[in-house]
Amino acid sequence: MIKNNNQKMLMIMIKRPIMLMMMVMITIIIMNQFIHQKLAFHLPKLKRWKMMKILLLICKLIFFVI
């Protein structure tokens, strides 16, 4: 029972990353646009860079959790 369940999980994990990567890429693109529109005038480049790093970390966390 447990082994069968694990195999199903593995299959899902193999099938999902492509969809997941697409979602992550779309999210990064949208967030990037948002950051540039909202914060480009208010923040220096260094802070914007930090924001991008934080977003990438969040995306990585989501990738590992799902």
| Tally of structural domains, the chain | 1
Residue type, 66: I
Distance CA 3, CA 51 (A): 42
Q: Contact, 17 vs 5, CB < 8 A?
A: no
Each residue's pLDDT tens digit, 12-37: 666 666 777 777 788 887 777 776 66
pLDDT reading at 40 higher than 60: no
- What is the residue range of 39's domain? 2-65
DSSP letter for 43, please.
S
pLDDT given for residue 28 in this prediction: 80
Look at the pTM and tell me if it is higher than 0.85. Answer: no
